Amino acid sequence: MERMEPAAASSGEVEGNGVEGPLLCPWCDGDDVEKISEYGPHLMVYSYICRECNSPFEVIKR
């Protein structure tokens, strides 16, 4: 049961820990994202916020 998120397709580094691979904002494709919570509404989700467009989004843990 492997799932690849399309948002993690390009190179780059994201600050933070515990998350593998780069993250891109799903709204503006920016890579200046910040983890705001270990746990989102669900335990398998990280909450991030994009500092470029200030939009929150969630990333499913792998």
Cross-sheet strand order for the sheet of 33-37: 33-37, 45-50, 56-60
Q: Does 36 sit near Zn ion (CB under 5 A)?
A: no
Size of the site for Zn ion (CB under 5 A): 7
Q: Does 25 sit near Zn ion (CB under 5 A)?
A: yes
H or E, element range at 37: strand 33-37
C-beta of 49: minimal distance to Zn ion in Å? 9
C-beta of 4: minimal distance to Zn ion in Å? 21
Q: Does 50 sit near Zn ion (CB under 5 A)?
A: yes
